[in-house]
Amino acid sequence: MGVATTPYNEKKKTFELYTFGSLRPQFTLYNALLNGQFRKSAHTIDFHDMRHLILEFDGGVAVSIPIQKRNLLEFKLRLSGRSPEFKLPKRLPRWHYWGGLELSFSHY
């Protein structure tokens, strides 16, 4: 005899509060946009001034709220960032940060 199971879409949704995060190293040997696509230009960065190992990250907090019987409302607050891609003389490295607020509604 098999065990009776409830299909996923029929399972009761519950309130959830959770955090999430990720860290991704990225290795780039040649960046055509910054290195000039093998052409000379006044607006290129030398290969030796590039940071070839870059770190990217995402993190945040989310909440899922069941509404009525078959609706789900979800809020996510996210912060993302990236380490500097190049180093220039007499200039501090600049990290880049951005974020967002997601709102989603599901009917199942």
Could you tell me the residue ranges of all domains in the chain?
A: 13-107
Q: DSSP assignment, residue 12?
A: P
Whole-prediction pTM: 0.69
32-86 per-position pLDDT tens digit: 888 887 777 777 888 888 889 999 999 999 999 998 878 889 999 999 999 998 8
pLDDT of residue 100: 97
SS3 call for 65: strand
Which residues is 21 bridged to in the sheet?
Answer: 59
> Where in the chain does DSSP place strands (E)?
16-27, 53-67, 71-82, 96-107
pLDDT above 60 for 9: no
Question: CA of 33: how far to CAs of 36, 37, 39, 83, 106, in Å?
Answer: 6, 7, 11, 17, 40
pLDDT of residue 103: 96
pLDDT of residue 69: 78
